[in-house]
Amino acid sequence: MSSLPFHETLDLSLCGKLGRVHRICRQAVTQAVEPLGFTQPRWTAMMHIHHLGEGCTQHQLACSLDIEMPSLTRTMKQLEENNVIERRIDKQDKRCRKIYFTEHGQAQLAQLKMRISEVKALLYHGLSDDELNAIAHALVKLENNAQQCCDNISENGSTSE
Amino acid sequence: MSSLPFHETLDLSLCGKLGRVHRICRQAVTQAVEPLGFTQPRWTAMMHIHHLGEGCTQHQLACSLDIEMPSLTRTMKQLEENNVIERRIDKQDKRCRKIYFTEHGQAQLAQLKMRISEVKALLYHGLSDDELNAIAHALVKLENNAQQCCDNISENGSTSE
DNA sequence: CTAGATTAGTTAGCATGCTAAGTAAATGGT
DNA sequence: ACCATTTACTTAGCATGCTAACTAATCTAG
């Protein structure tokens, strides 16, 4: 059963497996950081803000997170309500809202980084760097193929001649 | 940038990458079968019913799909409304609803199988069997690690002594 | 300088996973 | 035989992604 080649295994659950692993990994991290008041989209946003640097715009953050603006808007509101970030309208470009950590947010970030690295160690346990790299590259290929797939279909879908 | 080892790449998006690839793959398949009236949960369910054999129960199907019953209930209703399946209460055990394809459903299934195998070929383009197997095994490990992670936390969370 | 296009962000509402809590049937202990 | 538990399924409502359509600010032509 479990010795089937990958493409056979996935015959019935192509996307399913990815989705399932995604959900369960998300849950693992979420459980670890829940006591701090963070859900997955919130902690992910925190880490990316940290990475981009304070003062980044929501647009930059959405690109970094690879999600759409409306998805981000919701998370930003929550983080603001929880008093971990604040958004200040840019003086130069009044459309932009730049993101900063509050003092409380800084402290939370430090906690987050610790907990996340702990969970990450658990998740990656028994997986060599080679395996991790293999997954990463295969995922990138899959993503690109799927992207092309979508593009082709949407082109041919409307202008079919 | 893209030459970072996997664990570095994922530092900021641990679950994110999986989720993204999942979403884009799902979209690729969905676009292909949309003309037939199937969304991802619907076509996946169709394939699994086919695999389990007509007459399977919703519970069996949910296990096969690895989703919860309420998620399945919604999909079953939709498939029934679209006249591709019907559910008959089991004579032996009146709690169970056994699933059968309608005639229309049989025809749709044949169409589905064709389209899906086409998309699958596109998605797997450029990925060797070795790579696919590597991904599959790594995903299984990740899933198991995450599962243990969740279990540990929920144990220690409440009975902490 | 003003009209139209672009860009940043929001709001509204859909899709699909989930959990919690309900119903109805089957099962099991006394 | 009857009450408690378990099982199959449903309903209600949350979480987090999305798209479509909006506002407000900026940019670009003329």
pLDDT tens-digit profile of B96-152? 999 999 999 999 999 999 998 888 888 888 888 888 887 888 888 888 888 887 777
User: Which range has the worst mean pLDDT, A49-53, A87-91, A103-107, B135-139?
Assistant: B135-139
- Confidence band of A157 (pLDDT split at 50, 70, 90): very low
Q: Which domains does chain B have, with CATH numbers?
A: 15-124 (1.10.10.10)
For B15, the token pair is 């679950």
Between CA B30 and CA A17 the distance in angstroms is 16
For A:44-83, CB contacts with B below 8 A are: 44, 47-48, 51, 64-66
What percentage of chain A reaches a pLDDT higher than 70?
A: 84
Q: How would residue A50 be classed by pLDDT, with cut points 50, 70 and 90?
A: very high
Spatial CA neighbour of B24 closest among B158, B114, B112, B123 = B123
Residue A155 confidence (pLDDT): 58
Q: What chain B residue is nearest to A119 in terms of C-alpha separation?
A: B149
| Cβ <8 Å between A14 and B5 | no
Judge contact between A44 and B11, C-beta under 8 A.
Answer: no
Which nucleotides on chain D have any atom < 7 A from a protein Cβ?
A: 7-13, 15-21, 24-27
Highest mean pLDDT out of A135-139, B34-38, B81-85: B81-85
Positive or negative, the Cα torsion across B45, B46, B49, B51?
Answer: negative
CB contact under 8 A, A28 and B143: no
Mean pLDDT of B84-89: 97
With cut-offs at 50, 70 and 90, classify the pLDDT of residue A1.
very low
- Which pLDDT belongs to residue A129? 81
pLDDT at A147 over 60: yes
